[in-house]
Each structure stands twice: as structure tokens, then as C-alpha cells.
A and B are shown apart, each in its own frame.
Chain A
């Protein structure tokens, strides 16, 4: 199974700062990688698919990059509503897998 390793586990930042989240895959997943945001008590919300394409209604401050085994989610200027947990998820091979998550918290 493909293991996705996210770093850092926690990111402590202030509103207005930028956030850079990393996801590394144990095998080549090409561009078949998505990013989700999850807030407490809510289901995940799709942010980015195919590694770099913003999903419907996702603000432009969210961007994704990478291919193969190394991926990055960047939030250019954190808004108060962006403090949440972020997961990467590979859709390249079965079984599908998720990373363990990165928590973006208010500093």
C-alpha cells in the first residue's frame, strides 16, 4: 500500500501568514493526489484535486503543486476560517490511502 507522510504534524501560524504543507508518497502517484480540509464535527472538504486544480468554490489563496512522490499545499494568506486539519489522499492505486494530517493552528 502507498504510504503518505505529511509534514509538519502541526503548523502554528498567525492570520495573514502563509502556510506550506508537505505530503510525500512512498511510491509514484503521478498527479492522482487530492487535498482535503476538515474542521471539527464536519466531513472533509475537497480543496485540490489532480495535485494542483482547485475544487469548486475554493478560494485562490489555496494552491497545490507537485507530482510523483512530493506534493505541497500552500495557503497564501491565512484567514481565520483556514485553521483546520489538512489531509492528502492518493487516488492512484488501490487501496486508497490518506496522510495522517497536518493541523494548522492559531499561534
Chain B
């Protein structure tokens, strides 16, 4: 059974940092692109960042570029999102997801980790 479990969310002050983790299991982690998608309270979905299986390709939304860093540890089946210079508008539930690759018929999402940026 595929599972994605996010951790590391919490309350942080503006300008602070936080590191989210996503523990993956039930599939061959090393063969999938992984994503972070966020959702501010009461708002829509916003794609944040993606990292290819071998880390060759990394992409960011303009809203987080230069402040967030996506990474993965394929030996530990883990995905990370290091967030710096956090702002109030970064407050959101952050979802980890396994990308939908060619030939696949579904993707997978974690339950999300809430990040609250407030003084």
C-alpha cells in the first residue's frame, strides 16, 4: 500500500524557517518525481515544487523561489522541503504527492502538514 506521511509542520514566526519531511512507502521511491503542493486556509491548490527521481530536475513556483529548497533522500525514501524567510502568505497545508508518470493511472497524496506563519 502506497503511503505518504508529512511531518514537520507547525507555528513559526515571520522570517523564520521550517523543514517539512515526507516519508514514502509502498512503492519504488527512486523511480518517481515527487511534488509539494500547498493550500492556504479556504483557498485553492497551489503547486510549490517538484523534484525528479534522480534530482536532475528541480522546479519551483515563483512565489517560493529563492526561499524554499526541495530535496530527497532516495536511500531513506524521504522527500523534504526546507523553507526560509517565511511569510504570512506561506500559511497553508502542505501536501506531498507522488507524481503521475507516463503509463500510470493514479497519483498519491499525503494527508498534509499545516504550516502557520504568525507572530
Chain A interfacial positions (CB closer than 8 Å to B): 1, 34, 36, 38, 43-44, 46, 49, 53, 55-57, 85, 87, 89, 91, 94-101
Contacts and interface: CB of A to CB of B under 8 A. Distances in A.
A95 B106 contact: no
A94 B45 contact: no
Nearest to A58: B106
15 contacts: A38-B45, A43-B97, A43-B110, A43-B111, A44-B45, A44-B95, A53-B105, A85-B44, A87-B45, A89-B47, A95-B61, A96-B47, A97-B47, A98-B47, A101-B45
B35 to A, nearest CB: 8
Contacts, number: 51
A96 B57 CA distance: 14
Interface in B73-119: 95, 97, 100, 105-107, 109-112
Interface in B30-51: 37, 44-47, 50
B44 A98 contact: yes
B27 interface: no
B60 A95 contact: yes
A86 B85 CA distance: 32
